[in-house]
Chain A
Amino acid sequence: DTGVSQDPRHKITKRGQNVTFRCDPISEHNRLYWYRQTLGQGPEFLTYFQNEAQLEKSRLLSDRFSAERPKGSFSTLEIQRTEQGDSAMYLCASTLDGGYTFGSGTRLTVV
């Protein structure tokens, strides 16, 4: 098991474009989380899946954001009509019993 994988590592996009990130969690982990980290801040919770069910969403997750976890395996996070304020590191983490493992993140830059 190679841990939590995120793709791409970096993404530069023009304002108004749509972007999609992928996360592959540790295979036996049933819980998957998305966090966002901006400069000078700690990671902030965005959303959480238990198996394929999205059980919780932060108020930070505007209508332009959508996340899926089909079949309870990998997850995707899509941002529609990107804005400069969406520039951040997007982190995925998975856990079975509270022992979190984070991926290396996707650095999004909106120009």
Chain B
Amino acid sequence: DQQVKQNSPSLSVQEGRISILNCDYTNSMFDYFLWYKKYPAEGPTFLISISSIKDKNEDGRFTVFLNKSAKHLSLHIVPSQPGDSAVYFCAAYSGAGSYQLTFGKGTKLSVIP
């Protein structure tokens, strides 16, 4: 039973264009959502997060949008750069519990120069 789903295993985008990565969740108890970036043989690196009381959070080139009614969030990267090429994981947790993260399977983003 996958509670966090990233349905696109891969995404290719031209440098300078927008990258949109999508994530769906099923557990209504989740109230914090995070995006991580991961290079091979390294641990995940935190990018940006959003709590369920907001619908948008922005940090530089990265913006996360949350649609609670649809249980959907997305990460927008504008403009995309070749260094953004990595696997992106969506994760979620309930602030009432142990802060245990539930991850999606990841989306591999390739930014083409």
Within 90-113 of B, Cβ neighbours of A (below 8 Å) are at: 91, 93, 95, 98-106
Q: Does B45 contact A (CB under 8 A)?
A: yes
**Contact A102-B93, Cβ < 8 Å, known A42-B105, A44-B103, A55-B98:** no
Q: Which residues of A contact B43 (CB under 8 A)?
A: 4, 6, 91, 93, 102-105
Interface residue tally on A, bucketed by range: 20 to 34
In the A-B complex, the 8 residue pairs with the closest CB atoms: A42-B103, A102-B43, A104-B43, A102-B44, A105-B43, A45-B100, A43-B103, A42-B105
Q: Is the CB of A43 within 8 A of B44?
A: yes
User: Can you offer 17 A-B residue contacts whose CB atoms are under 8 A?
Assistant: A6-B43, A31-B99, A33-B100, A42-B4, A42-B103, A43-B89, A45-B102, A50-B98, A56-B100, A91-B43, A93-B101, A98-B95, A100-B99, A102-B43, A103-B43, A104-B41, A105-B42
Contact A98 B99 (CB under 8 A): yes
Q: Tell me the residues in window 29-73 of chain B with beta carbons closer than 8 Å to chain A beta carbons.
A: 32, 34, 36, 41-46
In the complex, A43 Cα to B36 Cα: how many Å? 11
Note all chain A residues with C-beta closer than 8 A to B101: 33, 35, 43, 45, 93, 100
Give complex CA distance A102, B103 in Å. Answer: 14
**A56–B32 CA distance with the chains assembled, in angstroms:** 19
**Residues on A with beta carbons closer than 8 Å to the beta carbon of B4:** 42
